[in-house]
Structure 1
Amino acid sequence: MTSLSPHPADAVEPKTRSVGATELSWCKAVPGGTGTTVLALLLSKPPHVPFLQNALRRLQISHPILNSKLRFDPASSSFSYVTPSAAHIEIQPFDVQSTSQILESCETTAQLSPLHLILEHELNKNSWKDTDPSLDTHLFFASVYALHDDKWILTLRLHTSACDRASAVTLLRELMEEAKGVGGVERGMHKEMGVSLGIEEYIPAGQANKPFWAHGMDVLGYSLNSFRFSNLDFKDTVSPRVSCVVRLQLNAEETGRLLSDCERRETKLFGLLAAAGMIASHSIKGIPRDQWEKYAVVTLVNCRSILDPVLSSNHIGFYHSAVLHTHNVKGGENVWELAKRICMSLVNAKNNKKHFTDMADINFLMCKAIENPGVTPSGSLRTSLISIFEDHVIDHSSKMSQEMGLEDFIGCASVHGVGPSIAIFDTIRDEKLDCACVYPYPLHSREQMQELVDEMRRIILDAGVGFGNSPDKNEVDLQYSC
């Protein structure tokens, strides 16, 4: 297998650019535990490590930000991306004995699969914490773990400033295309010539404009309003935290019916999942049914299609915007009505360009929470109950995945620094809904979050009772497009 690294004599001076404002907020968040993106793939065929390594290097060449290093300048407290011309990634192998030791070290009483445990292990391997500030750090790491039963787990771990969820989906798809031998053809038109600019540089002219006084009022409003947010009960606010995962899964029939009902009621899936999460939170806390609670939801919007110039869906980097909105919930809430309110809240925010005008405010507050944990409830760094993506991922890679022997995969990011109590990463694969629900442990216990997710699942399935029935007149009056 030939190396993709150029001869030293042909080496080109690395390219450097400063990180953008949104990227900077992630650079500050990741060392504390929020923003380590991981893709974990369970394989039934032995991976050819040299082949995979070269495939990943070709992806680094196509998407230079994946080949970049993060540089910190102590004098200015600023970060920048440094991109060499030669691809660098090395896959770290773990034999059966090493993998077994890692699995045995995982402190949990839950019956979790090796894939699940390795995912959590990778989420909490923080290559950007307590590093020598004089050294540049890579943004992209890969490992292969060998299991006893002739199976393997391939993990890809990335810094979220360089790889949002849409980027992770692109990375996985293109890796499978490489495995099938079609990568070079498929990707030719999408090759990025250099590390692109941050999202702020692509916002259409005038759409992020906001008077200075308005910025101040909105930051103050967000800050004061946060003291009224309700949270899940905190179990341990003192011990060191890690990110753990609970999966919410539906079978193909349940998923099909759910999506059909969302379409019939003109409601998006993210609204239904967020509504179920809020109602479940109210329910498991055991508070009186008539007691209202105010919950915050952060919805992440993929902005690629509305930037100037428009960026391809295959364009790797961080190009999501966060929209914070709040909703009052009490016992006995109708999940569909709440889901519609959540959808309409996001529609109104986007119509008012808040995904652009409030970007700087949200980034500022995120950084302030990181610097001053005491301003959050119990110093927990919790900024909302739920974070969720506006659009779910639909995976059609089953045929290509056979080339790799891909049996299962989970993709998500760590949240145990600043962030929500539960971050939902929803995927529809083989027509089945699979949500990786990430939470900070032991701030919340695994038993508590399993109860929450089980209650969410019950609420979602109960919402589907009566599929095929026409909505009554009152429901029709509540409908709107999300």
Structure 2
Amino acid sequence: MAEQDGVAAAAKAAQPKSRPVGGTEYSWCRAVPGGTGITVLAILLSKPVDIPLLENALLKLQIAHPILNSKLRYHAATNSFSYLTPPTPRLQIQPFDHSSTAEILLRRAAPSSISDFHLILEHELNRNTWHNPDPSSDSEADTFFASVYDLNGGKRVLALRLHTSACDRATAAALLTELLHPLVGGGGQEEGTQREIESEGEVGLGIEDYIPNGKANKPFWARGLDMLGYSLNSFRLSNIAFHDTESPRASQVVRLTLGKHDTRRILDGCEARGIKLFGVLSAAGLIAARASKELPDHKYEKYAVVTLMDCRSILDPVLSTNHAGFYHSAILNTHDIKGGEDIWEVAKRSYTSVANAKNNNKHFSDMGDMNFLMGKAIENPGLTPYSSMRTAFLSVFEDPIIAITHHQLGLEDFIGCSSVHGIGPTIAIFDTIRDGELDCACVYPSPLHSRHQMQGLIDDIKRILLQS
């Protein structure tokens, strides 16, 4: 009998585990086929890459975080998705030698000032493994892919590409930290914490299942009024000029960097006013957008800003910072901007509107509304100006990623961001404070906006920040 029980237990353990996706995860499953929600962590290395060692490190990450070892399965009959998690990881790195990499770079026409590393990042943002050409049939795809590209001068780019339903920005940052330890012989010091949470190969639940009791409650009439308000406001929102509304779209990136001195000045300014960095980034973006139109100073324009916040520390139970998955919520605010406004006044308004919404639990109570509106925009692009699928001018994160560049380990550079060329904002700002310097990857849809246009806008944002 004991032997039979052991065989049964072994057979059960060898079976893939499955769970349906949650509400927010489902929104990302619908968005990614259109081009929004492909998360990429690109890492520039100056030292040779030991592929077997790297593959082993990535497999350990999948064991520690089962959602990264999962397949997303689409069920055509019910138009639903689920995570299917096999008992053992199987990720293999896709290598691109020097000639293959050169071919990819040749196809990406760009100014000579843009580095090969930058172009590989954009290439990965537009590799959509999750586009199902036949939605009437079942399909499945991995949530996690890895590639290595050979560049000139003996440099390599390690690109990790993940489905955003399984990897928000906090997950990507944790992966970078966890990956460095085994590669340099440091081991995984937080492995025990990971396995306490993500035990026995189970994929953690969706964010909705961790919301503290009562925090997501909203009366039916209030939900109806909010939905009506969001819908009516969307017709009043301003955008910067579109360049090409007809051609197929892809995500491109403009990078905004500030030195240590200027970064410190801005952070000190935020601290003195009791606000966070996202407030001043939002303000600079709104002022630059309004200024690009050369309107009379007294004329107001209304812009929407989506602020994303990592909810792990306020869920029930509290999740660790390295718990893999998508555990961000979004708050949508609109702002009326006129000419000649002071950046710190706009920054204070931007921060206060988010803080007030958060105090009223709108990051939880409006989660279903945001997902519903996102789905409607995907189904009906014509509801947005020129079918652009722009739902806001700007998206920012409540807190930046704080990171260190490990040059002594051969880590020269890294960028983490997600694609936005399906549904999404005009600009998504992924901000990092790295070695004390502000480094923002600003992602936008091309050719809806041209590289020249967006570079000019980001240059204006930088100038406004420096003048602050």
Which moves more between the two structures, 449-458 or 179-188?
179-188
Matched, 1:13 2:21: no
Code of the aligned partner of 1:44: S
- The match for 1:345 is 353
Asked if structure 2 preserves the Cα contact closer than 8 Å seen for 1:299 and 1:389, the reply is yes
Matched, 1:355 2:357: no
- The match for 1:479 is none
Matched, 1:160 2:164: yes
Matched, 1:255 2:259: no
Asked if structure 2 preserves the Cα contact closer than 8 Å seen for 1:297 and 1:384, the reply is yes
- The match for 2:29 is 27
TM (norm. structure 2) is 0.95
Tell me how far apart the structure 1 counterparts of residues 345 and 231 of structure 2 sit (CA, whole Å): 28
- The match for 1:438 is 443
- The match for 1:286 is 294
C-alpha displacement of 1:9: 8.6
Asked if structure 1 preserves the Cα contact closer than 8 Å seen for 2:75 and 2:139, the reply is no
- The match for 1:87 is 89
After superposition, give the CA deviation of every residue in 1:264-313 in whole Å (9 maximum; x if it has no partner): 12221100000000000011122222210000000001111111001111
Asked if structure 1 preserves the Cα contact closer than 8 Å seen for 2:260 and 2:437, the reply is yes
After superposition, give the CA deviation of every residue in 1:137-192 in whole Å (9 maximum; x if it has no partner): 00000000001211111000000000000000001110011212223333222221
Asked if structure 2 preserves the Cα contact closer than 8 Å seen for 1:11 and 1:86, the reply is no
After superposition, give the CA deviation of every residue in 1:120-153 in whole Å (9 maximum; x if it has no partner): 0000000001356433200000000001211111
State how 1:39-438 maps to structure 2 within 5 Å: 39-109=41-111, 111-131=113-133, 133-191=137-195, 192-193=198-199, 194-396=202-404, 398-399=405-406, 402-403=408-409, 405-438=410-443
Tell me how far apart the structure 2 counterparts of residues 135 and 265 of structure 1 sit (CA, whole Å): 51
Call closer, same or farther: CA 1:425–1:86 in 2, change over 3 Å. Answer: same
Misfit runs of 4+, over 6 Å = 8-11
Asked if structure 2 preserves the Cα contact closer than 8 Å seen for 1:42 and 1:115, the reply is yes
Aligned to 1:184, what secondary structure does the other structure show? coil
Aligned to 2:189, what secondary structure does the other structure show? helix
Aligned to 1:440, what secondary structure does the other structure show? strand
Fraction of identical pairs, as percent: 62
- The match for 2:452 is 447
After superposition, give the CA deviation of every residue in 1:185-236 in whole Å (9 maximum; x if it has no partner): 3322222112010000000001101122322221111011110000011111
Code of the aligned partner of 2:461: M
- The match for 2:7 is none
Which moves more between the two structures, 292-301 or 124-133?
124-133
Tell me how far apart the structure 1 counterparts of residues 19 and 419 of structure 2 sit (CA, whole Å): 26
Which moves more between the two structures, 280-289 or 194-203?
280-289
Asked if structure 1 preserves the Cα contact closer than 8 Å seen for 2:132 and 2:139, the reply is no
Tell me how far apart the structure 2 counterparts of residues 213 and 121 of structure 1 sit (CA, whole Å): 46
Asked if structure 2 preserves the Cα contact closer than 8 Å seen for 1:175 and 1:183, the reply is no
Tell me how far apart the structure 2 counterparts of residues 177 and 24 of structure 1 sit (CA, whole Å): 33
Asked if structure 1 preserves the Cα contact closer than 8 Å seen for 2:178 and 2:188, the reply is no
Code of the aligned partner of 1:334: D
Code of the aligned partner of 2:31: A
Which moves more between the two structures, 214-223 or 375-384?
214-223
C-alpha displacement of 1:109: 3.3
Aligned to 1:149, what secondary structure does the other structure show? helix
Tell me how far apart the structure 1 counterparts of residues 458 and 187 of structure 2 sit (CA, whole Å): 38
Code of the aligned partner of 1:162: A
Structure 2 unaligned spans of 5+: 1-9
- How many residues get paired? 453
C-alpha displacement of 1:108: 2.2
Aligned to 1:224, what secondary structure does the other structure show? helix
Aligned to 1:136, what secondary structure does the other structure show? strand
TM (norm. structure 1) is 0.92
- The match for 1:477 is none
Asked if structure 2 preserves the Cα contact closer than 8 Å seen for 1:392 and 1:428, the reply is yes
Call closer, same or farther: CA 1:131–1:70 in 2, change over 3 Å. Answer: farther
Tell me how far apart the structure 1 counterparts of residues 206 and 12 of structure 2 sit (CA, whole Å): 29
C-alpha displacement of 1:258: 1.5
After superposition, give the CA deviation of every residue in 1:350-395 in whole Å (9 maximum; x if it has no partner): 1110000100000000010000000011100000000000001100
Tell me how far apart the structure 1 counterparts of residues 229 and 278 of structure 2 sit (CA, whole Å): 25
